[in-house]
Amino acid sequence: MTGPAARIASVPEREYRRVRGVGALRGHGADAAHPPAQLRRQRVSEGEQRDAAVRCDAPRAGPIADELAPARERTARLVIRDGVA
């Protein structure tokens, strides 16, 4: 096992129990786009490992970086100026 799956597998079970408890107290997910941690862990640990369906090669990376540049600059200003993390 390598990559994210290996890092997830290295987390002690007691930490997963703690996260599940905290999730239950808080109502699990942060928002609709952020599923509960235990569901993400379950998907990674039990799911079949496959190669990415979409690859970001050099011809695609440039336009994506251009599109994200304004947001990156705004975020950097917030973090540097306001200490938002």
What's the pLDDT score for residue 1?
Answer: 67
Model confidence band, residue 27 (pLDDT cutoffs 50, 70, 90):
low
pLDDT at 85 over 70: no
Helices (H), 30-78: 37-46, 58-77
Residue 41: which residues within 8 A CB-CB, separation 6 or more? Answer: 8, 16
pTM of the entire predicted model: 0.37
What's the pLDDT score for residue 54?
Answer: 82
The pLDDT tens digits of the residues spanning 38-63 come to 677 777 888 787 888 888 888 889 99
> Helix-strand-coil percent breakdown of the chain, rounded to 5?
65, 0, 30
Mean pLDDT of the chain: 80
